[in-house]
């Protein structure tokens, strides 16, 4: 279980799939002439002679550990259901597509005009969010996108009837169902990577062959439109929390944010493991700015940053954008705090605007979800801070330098005891009391005898 994963509650366990899992090979054993490490991944190349040598087995184990580390640290592969199921089979053994189909069928009993055409398997990265291509029987030529999402640790329980501009929405105790128009062009990320939206997300985004950044004018226009949308949300006391290239649709030069309901449904952000590490990002507004920096980087370079903070930016065809990226993603920015959305709008490198309308009934719903998200973020950051302090203390206590220091100190104590006391002496094991600052010692006293009061009113200190 991850450090930040909530303890299981009776009856139901709600997991945050954005929390990364780790794998550690603790031991190996010899079984029928084979080395078994409790895993089913391919082992490093075999050796015909000396293959049971202890050093060779240790070398193979280290190679496999490095392979597992590379998988669990990859930002996209580590979210794959195959990886999760391998590392945590108890919590990831369910068939989520089948569960989603069952829930969708129950929802459609009350509204039979909808019909599922096909499941869009692995179109998105979320394990507990499934997509289906559907149609309205009254409009048989139109295609719509249905998304089903299971309950999550941050779910606020607010009815999805407040969401807009959805064509249909419904919730149950365990999940939510949403319908919106389907875009054949896909998301902004699909356009950057030049892929088809219905393909598997691993195939589309893990190693895109034709990925390319946008033109400068597009970056300026889209960036300004997205900032205007965020400002409108923030001015209304709302938040997004899930801004990324997959949640932006572009139609006739206009950017539209989708999945705004994710915050109210409590769905964790894909960048949560990144901004949880940064204590200055402690509000939903700063989360939105951090996500905007990731999105702006991807629009500029055609791929998201490998890690944050970013201090060495690749040579970009649009140098004007780099200054904006530095104000959000650099080490100084992550330590001192994110710029505000109004401040980013005032930068001369972003032009153009777009207006969005937010339904008034959505305001209170998202305010509740906003408070829940920030509370959980602060708690996780506090836990991480305590964990880091404990790890540093354990590392220091177990270091070779500290061990040598303790050995030297113990040796000095033994030598001092051997020279200063006779084991058969009646004063063996006694301690000395002396007033602080004085050079003299008081008469020796044994721990079993009462401590004599000091000769004066000056406090005394215990010295060994």
**How far apart are the C-alpha atoms of 124 and 182, rounded to whole Å?**
14
CA 335 to chain centroid, in Å, comes to 18
Q: In whole numbers, what is the pLDDT of the chain averaged over residues?
A: 75
Higher pLDDT among residues 260 and 360, named by residue: 260
Q: What's the Rg (C-alpha) of the chain?
A: 30
The answer to whether 96 and 130 have CB atoms below 8 angstroms apart is yes
Cα–Cα nearest to 122, from 179, 194, 176, 199: 199
pLDDT, tens only, 287-304? 999 999 999 999 999 999
Band the pLDDT of 109: cuts 50, 70, 90. confident
**Number of C-beta neighbours around residue 452 at 10 A:** 10
Dump strand ranges (E) for 345-456: 432-434
Q: What is the reported pLDDT for 248? A: 92
Q: What top-level class would CATH report for the domain 201-387?
A: mainly alpha
Q: What are the start and end residues of each CATH 1.10.510.10 domain in the chain?
A: 201-387
Cα–Cα nearest to 154, from 381, 374, 7, 365: 374
Cα–Cα nearest to 355, from 186, 264, 224, 180: 224
**How far apart are the C-alpha atoms of 327 and 18, rounded to whole Å?**
26
The answer to whether 282 and 370 have CB atoms below 8 angstroms apart is no
Q: Burial code of 233-265, b = ≥16 C-beta within 10 A, e = fewer?
A: bbeeebbbbbbbbbbbbbeeeebbbbbbbbbbb
**How far apart are the C-alpha atoms of 43 and 420, rounded to whole Å?**
61
pLDDT, tens only, 203-242? 888 888 888 999 988 998 899 989 988 888 888 777 888 9
337 φ/ψ sector (left φ>0, alpha ψ -120 to 50, else beta):
left
Helix axes 319-329, 216-235, angle to 10 degrees: 30
Q: Is the pTM of this model over 0.85?
A: no
pLDDT, tens only, 319-377? 778 889 999 999 999 888 889 999 998 887 775 544 444 455 556 666 677 777 778 77
**How far apart are the C-alpha atoms of 18 and 271, rounded to whole Å?**
8
Q: Give yes or no for residue 459 having a pLDDT over 60.
A: no
Higher pLDDT among residues 76 and 355, named by residue: 76
Q: Is 447 helix (H, G, I), strand (E, B) or coil?
A: coil
Percent over 70 (pLDDT), the chain: 71
Q: What is the reported pLDDT for 51? A: 67
Cα–Cα nearest to 293, from 318, 325, 331, 320: 325
94-182: CATH topology is Phosphorylase Kinase; domain 1 (3.30.200)
The answer to whether 179 and 167 have CB atoms below 8 angstroms apart is yes
pLDDT, tens only, 171-192? 777 788 888 888 888 899 999 9
pLDDT, tens only, 19-74? 666 666 665 554 433 333 333 444 566 665 666 778 888 887 888 888 788 778 77
Percent over 90 (pLDDT), the chain: 13
Q: What is the mean pLDDT of residues 4-15?
A: 50
Q: 212: Cβ–Cβ under 8 A, 6 or more apart, which residues?
A: 192, 194, 302
């Amino acid at each position: 279980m991850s450090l930040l994963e909530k303890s299981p509650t009776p009856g139901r366990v709600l997991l945050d799939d954005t929390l990364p899992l780790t794998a550690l090979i603790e031991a190996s054993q010899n079984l029928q002439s084979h080395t078994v490490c409790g895993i089913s991944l391919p082992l490093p190349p075999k050796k015909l002679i000396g293959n049971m040598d202890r050093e060779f087995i240790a070398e193979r184990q280290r190679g496999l550990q490095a392979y597992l580390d590379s998988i669990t640290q990859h930002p996209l592969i580590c979210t794959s259901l195959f990886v999760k199921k391998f590392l945590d089979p108890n919590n990831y053994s369910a068939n989520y597509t089948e569960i989603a189909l069952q829930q969708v069928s129950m929802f459609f009993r009350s509204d039979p005009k909808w019909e599922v055409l096909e499941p869009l398997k692995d179109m998105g990265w979320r394990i507990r969010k499934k997509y289906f291509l559907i149609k309205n029987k009254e409009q048989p030529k139109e295609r719509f996108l249905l998304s089903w999402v299971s309950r999550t640790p941050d779910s606020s329980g607010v009815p999805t009837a407040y969401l807009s501009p959805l064509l249909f929405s419904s919730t149950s105790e365990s999940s939510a169902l949403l319908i919106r128009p389907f875009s054949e062009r896909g998301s902004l990320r699909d356009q950057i990577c030049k892929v088809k939206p219905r393909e598997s997300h691993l195939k589309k985004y893990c190693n895109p062959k034709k990925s390319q950044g946008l033109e400068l004018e597009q970056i300026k226009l889209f960036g300004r439109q997205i900032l205007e949308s965020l400002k409108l949300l923030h001015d209304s006391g709302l938040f997004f929390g899930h801004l990324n290239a997959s949640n932006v649709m572009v139609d006739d030069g206009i950017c539209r944010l989708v999945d705004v309901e994710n915050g109210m449904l409590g769905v964790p952000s894909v960048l949560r493991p990144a901004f949880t590490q940064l204590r200055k990002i402690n509000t939903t507004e700063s989360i939105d700015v951090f996500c905007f920096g990731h999105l702006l980087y991807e629009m500029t370079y055609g791929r998201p940053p490998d890690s944050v903070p970013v201090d060495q930016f690749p040579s970009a065809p649009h140098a004007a954008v780099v200054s904006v990226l530095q104000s959000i993603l650099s080490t100084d920015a992550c330590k001192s705090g994110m710029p505000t959305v109004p401040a980013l709008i005032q930068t001369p490198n972003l032009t153009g605007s777009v207006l969005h309308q937010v339904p008034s009934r959505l305001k209170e719903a998202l305010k509740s979800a906003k408070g829940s998200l920030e509370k959980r973020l602060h708690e996780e950051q506090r836990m991480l801070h305590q964990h880091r302090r404990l790890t540093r203390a354990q590392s220091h206590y177990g270091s070779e330098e500290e061990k040598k220091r303790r050995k030297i100190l113990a040796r000095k104590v033994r030598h001092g005891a051997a020279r200063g006391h006779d084991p058969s002496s009646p004063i063996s094991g006694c301690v000395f009391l002396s007033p602080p600052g004085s050079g003299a010692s008081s008469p020796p006293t044994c721990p079993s005898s009462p401590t004599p009061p000091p000769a004066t009113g000056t406090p005394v200190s215990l010295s060994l």
